[in-house]
Structure 1
Amino acid sequence: MALLALKPRAASDTKAEEAEATHIELVRYACAIGAMQSAAAIPRVVPITHCGPGCADKQYMNIAFYNGYQSAGYGGGPVVPSTNASQREVIFGGAERLRELIESSLKVIDADLFVVLTGCIPDLVGDDVGSVVRDFQKRGVPIVYAETGGFRGNNFTGHEAVSQAIIEQYLEPWDGTRDAKTVNLWSLLPYHNTFWRGDLEEIKRLLEGIGLKVNVLFGPDSAGVSEWRDIPKAGFNLVLSPWLNLSTAKLLKEKYDQPLLHIPVLPIGARQSAAFLREVAAFAKLPEKHVESFIETEEQRYYTYIDGFTDFYSEYWWGLPAKFAVAGDSAYNLALTKFLVTQLGLIPAKQIVTEDPPLEYRDAIRDEFRRIDHDVSVEVEFLEDSYRIHEAIRGADFGQKPPIIFGTTWERDLVKEMKGSIVEVGFPTSYEVVLSRSYVGYRGALTLLERIYSTVVSHSA
């Protein structure tokens, strides 16, 4: 994980921050070209990277392998073709090298779509990647390109660049009748969010339960490129995150006049899941009777398990954490904080958002934290440097009980120092093997409760 130790500082929230350190210790995101994993998250899509030697491998190893030990998928990891641009390409340009790589990839890789992503070298020397890719597009090759040099942003903004490249360069015009009961789901960042596969599966299950057809777009439940081609036919776009994918949904609104529903908080547990489903159902004008019947069935199952949990909770309450901190991306941070406060009665001690969200979205994120519950308001901090994050957590008031920290592998030594418990919930998660685990919805919340209190009990043993 030492590959992630230093990285040029991204845009800061205030002038005071801009004047501070010019590096980040133990960074919590990757370069924009890390969005190669977003492309690989679409079934039978293969990224092609035009970048320096080692860049693609580092992105895969950090975002996917050392983060829950996720698989490379059909077209990710060691499958990804790369130009491995060298000094020669810096001096003479790498456009021809890219052209040769694409030709070779077409011969040996069976894919429904190729996505060319650029690194710092071609973006700095000015390679005309668009011209190279357009030549292949004119030949009918399913291929698009996105400019993802590291100085352009991190893998969150790179993800949007990839999504928008597919929409603008690959999708056909559409002026037909849309299916009001089909929704395009835009939510978690694939691979970077350690539990993205299980979470998308649970969100899709919930939406289908109230009567919608879901284009989930990424992951094993996606139909792949055919599902992306059907994007314009959907009745609306659902953005389920504080800010990620909003610009993509706005592009679709502009391009296809497609309605947009933005719900900032991922639902965890019965209370949030029911509210989420009712809001979506009202927007989609679904029959209320069917929606309420589905919610009732889910809640009956959920509270049956919760009833069994209450015996443990009432017996051991004296030894359980009362306060918590979360250090992670805004989507999981907000969702976890809301669940822990409203459904477990825990007290937030420190909330730190780590993915460097664009400045224009930060006030909206702050507002969501300030209305966690009717009588609970939380002030969130935006920090990227792990030294500063750990200092902030050390300085928080956790009362007389050991704290519980929801964070990453970077927090493990800090938590030992504080004699607390840690639940790894974000990038990088290197002490968890994750296959299909989910922490959202009704079923994910039960898994989360098991994980939290198994951690606490085993720590106190």
Structure 2
Amino acid sequence: MSIIDSQDKVAASGLAAGKTNSIEQVRYGCSIGAMQSVAAIPRAIPITHCGPGCADKQFMNLSFYNGFQGGGYGGGAVVPSTNASEREVVFGGAERLTELIGATLKVLEADLFVVLTGCISDLVGDDVGSVVKPFQQRGVPIVFAETGGFRGNNFTGHELVTRAIIDQFVGPYDGERVKGLVNVWSLLPYHNTFWRGDLTEIKRILEGIGLRVNILFGPESAGVAEWKSIPQAQFNLVLGPWLGLETARHLEAKYGQPFLHAPVLPIGAKETGAFLRRVLEFAGLNKGRARKKAEAFIADEEARYYKYIEDFTDFYAEYWWGLPAKFAVVADSTYALALTRFLVNQLGLIPGRQIVTDNPPEEVRDDIRAQFRAIADDVSTEIDFEEDSHTIHQKLRDTHFGHKAPIIFGTTWERDLAKELKGSIVEVGFPASYEVVLSRAYVGYRGALTLLEKIYTTTVGASA
């Protein structure tokens, strides 16, 4: 079952149970929000075939009011759009799209153009493939993906866009594979507020153990050159509970590439070391000189990490009485799982409530539940899959956090609730309207230290 079919099934079951499926304070974009995934590829530009305002709303929500991340080379105000009107609804928008693509090629320079469709064009049945094909035949680096909002959210759109680029641009390959080269499929660009810094840290630690890395998105990516080299990679790495799995399976079928699924995004020395050793073994680099080099990197990183932690313990020992004991996480499945493992295993905090908000496909939900039930040897926690903020906030109000003020890892939507509960808030996901984010990371060795600074600066400030 595909992601789209699964999400349709979830929606249908909600209707059968008498739910309205209305969502208050949304926590993701619609499928065409994958324009931000395109914008995350250096020198790639999305072209949107949608109604007026659709592209702007996706950018403002997913990028601007989410860490104020900016538009980059091809996002934001750069994105061309047909701004489809009643005329396109009645007569179709193929002619308008053809005109827009031609004008875009005259005005904008890019290594890759990706046409994304909105609800109007998909509903009226515009044959976008027929519009794009003549440009492809002329050698224009352009692909298309049908991303009407009814197909799912921007997680769904992201998978549709990556597959379109692989099939229409990267194309067939029957050459040799490069040992030690890995394609990374992980965080959703822009939707994850800290994706740029996180992907930078992921690439750094993988290179530290001797791998070459196609990170594919963000400032550390080589852009189109990396995408073209996808088939040459020894294997694919899916880092997170589910996003990227469908892409990895498609690459396995298309190129015969194996993939490693690491469901937990590593935060802190313990998780990161275990993650790197698992990757080493899968890559066949766990012997001889390669293993020695990798272990030296891990040892050096851990020594540095724990030196900072040693200094931090003075603060922790002095202020333990004023620090939170229980926490709640309201985030997409990738961050919710990673944060919960770090907070329990590294800091000894007690999970109060864990809520996953990205509407994962039904077939992966039991696997996600299993990960939370095995957070630690002696700690197990249940989770809620919920998208509606009204319901989320009511569940947090009903949670018993004990006699100490809780700390909530959530979004801007939880700020007022944190005050109501007399707790503190750390914004870790969309929307994060009180954070300005440039290169901050929360994963790996360096990101974990930054996260610790953020957590305890927040709690000390809240108690002042």
TM-score normalised to the size of structure 2? 0.96
2:139 corresponds to 1:140: yes
| 1:99–1:18 Cα change, 3 Å | farther
Matches within 5 A, 1:75-154: 75-154=74-153
Work out the CA distance in 1 between the residues paired with 2:249 and 2:117: 24
- Tell me which of 292, 299, 319 is aligned to 2:295: 292
Secondary structure (helix, strand or coil) at the match of 2:330 reads strand
* Residue 10 of structure 1: how far off its partner (Å): 9.1
Q: Judge conservation of contact 1:268–1:444 (CA < 8 Å) in 2.
A: yes
Work out the CA distance in 2 between the residues paired with 1:139 and 1:234: 29
* Residue 375 of structure 1: how far off its partner (Å): 1.0
- Report what 2:241 is aligned to: 242
Per-residue CA distance 1:316-352 (angstroms, 9 max, x = gap): 1111000000001000000000000001000000000
Work out the CA distance in 2 between the residues paired with 1:184 and 1:86: 40
Matches within 5 A, 1:317-396: 317-396=320-399
Q: Judge conservation of contact 1:9–1:23 (CA < 8 Å) in 2.
A: no
- Report what 2:436 is aligned to: 433
- Report what 2:4 is aligned to: none
Per-residue CA distance 1:243-262 (angstroms, 9 max, x = gap): 00100011100000001000
2:424 corresponds to 1:421: yes
- Report what 1:251 is aligned to: 250
Query: Structure 2: which 5+ residue stretches go unaligned?
Result: 1-6
* Residue 11 of structure 1: how far off its partner (Å): 3.2
- Report what 1:305 is aligned to: 308
Per-residue CA distance 1:51-75 (angstroms, 9 max, x = gap): 0000000000000000000010100
Per-residue CA distance 1:384-418 (angstroms, 9 max, x = gap): 00000001111111000000000000000000101
- Report what 1:183 is aligned to: 182
- Report what 1:403 is aligned to: 406
Q: Judge conservation of contact 1:11–1:18 (CA < 8 Å) in 2.
A: no
* Residue 139 of structure 1: how far off its partner (Å): 1.1
* Residue 12 of structure 1: how far off its partner (Å): 4.2
RMSD between aligned alpha carbons?
Answer: 1.3
Secondary structure (helix, strand or coil) at the match of 1:190 reads coil
Q: Judge conservation of contact 1:10–1:153 (CA < 8 Å) in 2.
A: no
Q: Judge conservation of contact 1:13–1:359 (CA < 8 Å) in 2.
A: no
Matches within 5 A, 1:29-108: 29-108=28-107
Secondary structure (helix, strand or coil) at the match of 2:170 reads coil
- Tell me which of 308, 316, 319 is aligned to 1:316: 319
Tell me the percent identity: 70
Per-residue CA distance 1:340-377 (angstroms, 9 max, x = gap): 00010000000000011111111111111111111111
Bigger mean CA offset, 17-26 vs 257-266? 17-26
Per-residue CA distance 1:139-190 (angstroms, 9 max, x = gap): 1111000000000000000000000000010113211110120000100000
Matches within 5 A, 1:439-450: 439-450=442-453
Bigger mean CA offset, 232-241 vs 286-295? 286-295
Q: How many residues align?
A: 454
* Residue 285 of structure 1: how far off its partner (Å): 1.2
* Residue 86 of structure 1: how far off its partner (Å): 0.1
One-letter code aligned to 1:302? Y
| 1:176–1:308 Cα change, 3 Å | same
* Residue 16 of structure 1: how far off its partner (Å): 7.7
| 1:393–1:428 Cα change, 3 Å | same
- Report what 1:23 is aligned to: 22
- Report what 2:215 is aligned to: 216
* Residue 441 of structure 1: how far off its partner (Å): 0.3
Work out the CA distance in 2 between the residues paired with 1:17 and 1:314: 53
Work out the CA distance in 2 between the residues paired with 1:319 and 1:195: 28
* Residue 22 of structure 1: how far off its partner (Å): 3.0
Work out the CA distance in 1 between the residues paired with 2:9 and 2:185: 25
* Residue 284 of structure 1: how far off its partner (Å): 0.5
Matches within 5 A, 1:276-287: 276-286=275-285, 287=290
Work out the CA distance in 1 between the residues paired with 2:124 and 2:326: 51
Secondary structure (helix, strand or coil) at the match of 2:23 reads coil
Matches within 5 A, 1:259-270: 259-270=258-269
Secondary structure (helix, strand or coil) at the match of 2:307 reads helix
Q: Judge conservation of contact 2:426–2:458 (CA < 8 Å) in 1.
A: yes
Secondary structure (helix, strand or coil) at the match of 1:49 reads strand
| 1:118–1:177 Cα change, 3 Å | same
Q: Judge conservation of contact 1:10–1:356 (CA < 8 Å) in 2.
A: no
Matches within 5 A, 1:198-209: 198-209=197-208
TM-score normalised to the size of structure 1? 0.97
Secondary structure (helix, strand or coil) at the match of 1:357 reads coil
Work out the CA distance in 2 between the residues paired with 1:290 and 1:222: 24
Work out the CA distance in 1 between the residues paired with 2:240 and 2:12: 20
Q: Judge conservation of contact 1:323–1:399 (CA < 8 Å) in 2.
A: yes
Secondary structure (helix, strand or coil) at the match of 2:327 reads strand
Secondary structure (helix, strand or coil) at the match of 2:99 reads helix
Q: Judge conservation of contact 2:11–2:21 (CA < 8 Å) in 1.
A: no
One-letter code aligned to 1:264? P
Bigger mean CA offset, 279-288 vs 141-150? 279-288
Work out the CA distance in 2 between the residues paired with 1:413 and 1:10: 33
- Report what 1:4 is aligned to: none
| 1:99–1:23 Cα change, 3 Å | same
Secondary structure (helix, strand or coil) at the match of 1:11 reads helix
Structure 1 runs (4+) greater than 4 angstroms displaced? 12-18
Work out the CA distance in 2 between the residues paired with 1:269 and 1:368: 18
Work out the CA distance in 1 between the residues paired with 2:326 and 2:451: 17
Work out the CA distance in 2 between the residues paired with 1:319 and 1:16: 45
Work out the CA distance in 2 between the residues paired with 1:200 and 1:42: 13
Per-residue CA distance 1:250-279 (angstroms, 9 max, x = gap): 110000000100000000000000000000
| 1:338–1:381 Cα change, 3 Å | same
* Residue 288 of structure 1: how far off its partner (Å): 2.1
| 1:213–1:346 Cα change, 3 Å | same
One-letter code aligned to 1:132? V
